Amino acid sequence: MRERILAVNKLQVSFNTYAGEVQAVRDVTFDLYKGETLAIVGESGCGKSVTAKSLMRLNPEPPAVIKGGEIIFENRDITNLKEKEMQRIRGSQISMIFQDPMTSLNPTMTVGRQITEGLKKHQKLTEVEAQKVAIQMLKLVQIPNAESRFKEYPHQFSGGMRQRVMIAMALVCNPKILIADEPTTALDVTIQAQILELMKELQNKIDTSIILITHDLGVVAHIAERIVVMYGGKVVEKGRSEDIFYRSKHPYTWGLLKSVPRLDIKRNAGRLSSIEGTPPDLLAPPPGCPFADRCQYAMKICRIEMPPMFEIYQLHGAACWINHPQAPTKVKEEV
Ligand code: SF4
């Protein structure tokens, strides 16, 4: 078993709004191992991005507040670190890339300067040393003519190239964890594939662990070793990629899988299916399973009591009552 680098235990994050407390992340638990890629998957509003940002304390506090649980990074509890200590971790130990590089890159500074800033701050390099490392990094992310492009501004790069610059910035200080929040959503399909391939390649070279946040299970198929599925602020299923793709034990995951385009399966009228209904209101989450209103297998217990995470096999678990040993056989057979 690989060394565990991050443990998130029963994390609870809420947003205090005028309408009341939005319970965005509810008892989220997962581990991340050294050198692995873990995907956190779910619809918009399921809590995946709030969870990821909480690891770096990037949710604005207030209105966000960590109400409970712990985030253990390299055996150290970083849940309530002071902002100054968090700044030492951000960028150098844990870094993040976002969906739209244009909002994360500074349009008034050359990309070279933006990369060297982190090196000078975290690694105390001189300007000349930092420039050398930054140009090497631009080459590593396959930006052609790295020496001259180093002096250019973000608007002079295409969308895919800007995302490569973001990856260079995020990896230049050799972070132990890279969090990628929907890194390819704004890109077209071919560029998406190139960026994912690049991340995989760099992961092997730099030996970093990756947390990939996405709403698209198709994106994670080739890159993630393990997958955490979130719904209504909760983890509803987790397991190795093959568990999730071939042996899933949760109706919500089945819905997500049916919405992934597959060339090997002929679907009705060539259409992808979507999950009917809407996610629960996290201002007043239901006492039972958050998926009950949209689930065709819902039983009486589902609306009354939250299903625990049933262990299916080793790292595979699913929070769904149909996995209870005494669940009606009929439901199991239909599944
Ligand atoms: Fe459906 Fe019940 Fe399972 Fe929730 S616990 S996914 S409602 S069967």
Q: How many whole angstroms from 219 Cα to the centroid of ligand 1? A: 26
Which segments of 172-212 does DSSP mark as H helices, in order?
A: 189-206
Closest CA to 175 of 143, 129, 208, 142: 208
pLDDT above 90 covers a percentage of the chain that reads: 43
Rounded average pLDDT over 99-103: 73
Q: How many whole angstroms from 299 Cα to the centroid of ligand 1? A: 7
pLDDT tens by residue, 205-258:
778 899 999 888 878 887 899 999 999 999 999 999 999 999 999 999 999 988
Its pTM stands at: 0.88
Q: How confident is the model at residue 277 (pLDDT cuts 50, 70, 90)?
A: confident
pLDDT tens by residue, 107-160:
899 999 988 988 888 878 888 888 988 898 888 888 889 888 999 999 998 888
Q: How many whole angstroms from 305 Cα to the centroid of ligand 1? A: 10
Element (H, E) at 241: helix 241-246
Tell me the best of 321, 326, 330 to mutate to test the pocket of ligand 1, counting ligand atoms within 8 Å of each CB and taking the most: 321
Which residues are within 8 A (CB) of 107 and not within 5 positions of it... i.e. 6 or more apart? 153, 154, 155
Q: What domains lie within the chain, and their CATH numbers?
A: 4-93+177-276 (3.40.50.300), 103-174 (no CATH)
Ligand 1 shell residues, CB under 6 Å: 251, 289, 291-292, 295, 297-299, 302, 307, 320-322
Q: ∠ CA(249), CA(26), CA(278), 5° rounding? A: 65
Give the position, in ligand 1's atom list, of the atom nearest the Cα of 302.
Answer: 2
Tell me the best of 322, 323, 330, 333 to mutate to test the pocket of ligand 1, counting ligand atoms within 8 Å of each CB and taking the most: 322
